[in-house]
Amino acid sequence: MLRDNTSKVVLIGGILIILFGAVAPNWIVNQLMFGFSRALAILGLLVLWRTGLVSFGHAFYFGLGAYTVAILDIQLGVTDVFVRLLGGACLAGLAGFLVGFIMRNYRDIFFAMLNTAISMVLYGIIVKTESLGSTDGFAISLPTIFGVAPETKYPLFVVITTVAIVSALLINFYLKTTIGRLTTPIRDNEIRVEYLGFSVAHAIHLKYTMSAILAGGAGALMAMSLGQVDPDSMINWTVSGELVFITILSGPGNVIAPFIGSLVFEVLRTYAFELAPHLWQLIVGGTFLTIIFFLPGGIWSLISKLGRSTS
């Protein structure tokens, strides 16, 4: 399972980053936490994108994960980081499995838009319900790890990075299995896949559910590392757009790409916000267009090109 280069890089790189986090300033640790949390959702979108499916509504699962953490915290007083993470990921996964029965019949723009619609239903419910925090959302208490309340954010960072490493390895392995390989083939020719004897609907359903679990986990980790959830930052359609943006920015080439893309996005946003607070949408939007036009393979295509020319 760990024989290929990607796995080795993920493993060694991940460990190096965990070590680096111990000496890095807080804000860098924060950016890494935000970036890696979000990257989990991108990992799921990457699998869908390779299959030719783009969801413009995965903030639904991201938000479900985040709000599960909030509800667990506020209603049940659950603080354990793993219970929260599993809760968020499982609930999102369950929702994804159920919604998947509808989604697996749709492709292209319809797939993208049905996802948006479903995410907006959740958004409407939360915004209008005072007991769910309406527009304000909730503050979330710091998580505990194995019953211990950590002094700093570092332990949470280690947990997030570890979850990121494990997820990247699992998805990397998944993409090597027979069913995991059914991405480009489905995009290229569904009829042939059916005649080869594999159900396209089942394959898509599985990928969709996986992406929901990952997005839910991402939302849960994001909620914990930020300490706050609210509908506009977690569920609104612009958040879904952001997730797709990072997917395109990252490129579909490798499971490492989402992590690099998410970090680049965090840095881009931080500096756009710092240098031109009035114009950060313009900067993000402009970058988006530039990537779509001039770098369709995303950042990963640059990295692999650079890699080819140096090795």
Partner 1 sequence: MTESKPILEVRDLLKTFGAVVAAKDINVDVRKGEIVGIIGANGAGKTCFVNMVTGYLKPTSGSIAFDGVQLVGKGPREVTHAGISRSFQVSQVFHTMTVAENLMIALAIAKNRGFAALREMDSPDLLTRRDDVLTRYHLDSYKDMTVNVLSQGVRKLLDIAMAVVSEPRILLLDEPTSGISVEEKFGFMDVVIEALREDEVTVLFVEHDMEIVERYVSRVLAFYQGEIIADMSPKKALADAKVQEFVIGTRH
Partner 2 sequence: MNRRFLTRALGIAAVSSVALTGGFAQAKDSITIAVPSFLTGGAAGPFGIPAMNGAKMVTDAINNGKLPAPYNAKGFGGASASLIELDEGGGATKQVAEYRNLVEKRNVDAIVGYISSGNCQALAPIAEELKQFTIFATCGTPRIFEEAPRKYVFRTMGHATSDNVAAAMYVKEKFPNVKGYTGINQNYAWGQDSWRDFDLTMKQIMPNTVASDKTQFPKIFAGQYGSEISAMSLDKADLVHSSFWGGDLEAFIFQGAARGLFKKKLGVVTVGGTAAYRLGKKLPDGLVLGARGPYGILVKDRDSVLNQWFVNTYKDIYGIYPSGPAYQYGQAILAAKIAYDKAGSDASDEQLADALRGVTFESFSTTVEMKLGGGHQAATENGYGITKYDSEAGENVVTDVKFYPASCVLPPDGVDSVEWINGGMKGAKC
Partner 3 sequence: METFLTILLDGLQFSSYLFIVSAGLTIIFGVMKILNVCHGSFYAWGAYTSAFFIGKFSEMGLPDGLGFVVIVASAIIVGLVLGFLIEQLILKHMYHRDEVLIVLATFGLFLVLEDVILIAFGTDPYFAYQPMALLDSVEMGGIVRDVYGLTLIGVAALVAAGCWFLLNKTKWGTILKAVIFDREMGISMGINVPFVYTLTFIGGAILGGLGGAYIAPTISVAPGLGTEVIVLSFAVVVVGGMGSIMGAAIGSVIIGLLRALAVHELPQVELFVVFAVMAVVLVFRPEGLFAPAKPRKI
- Cβ density class 118-148: b for 16+ within 10 Å, e for less: bbbebbeebbeeeebbeeebbebbbbbbeee
Closest to partner 3 by CB, 115 or 161? 115
**How far is the CA of 234 from the CAs of 136, 174, 212, in angstroms?**
12, 28, 14
Binding of partner 3 at residue 155 (CB under 8 A)?
Answer: no
Per partner kind, with CB cut-offs from 5 to 8 A, the member of partner 2, partner 3, partner 1, none near residue 233 is partner 2
Binding of partner 2 at residue 286 (CB under 8 A)?
Answer: no
Binding of partner 2 at residue 54 (CB under 8 A)?
Answer: no
Residues 6+ apart with CB under 8 A from 263: 31, 32, 35, 39
Site string for partner 2, 115-154 (x = CB under 8 A): ------------xx-x---xxxx-x--x------------
Amino acid in position 197:
G
Name the residue with tokens 């996964």: 93
Among 112, 135, 295, residue whose Cα is nearest residue 208: 112
Q: Is 3 helix (H, G, I), strand (E, B) or coil?
A: coil
Closest to partner 1 by CB, 47 or 72? 47
Instruction: Report the nearest approach of partner 1 to the CB of residue 249 (Å).
Output: 22
Which residues are at the interface with partner 1 (CB under 8 A)?
1, 173, 176-182, 184-185, 187-189, 191-199
- The site for partner 2 (CB under 8 A) is made up of 5-6, 8-9, 12-13, 16-17, 20, 24-28, 30, 34, 127-128, 130, 134-137, 139, 142, 226-234, 256, 260, 270, 273-274, 277-278, 280-281, 303, 306-308, 310-311
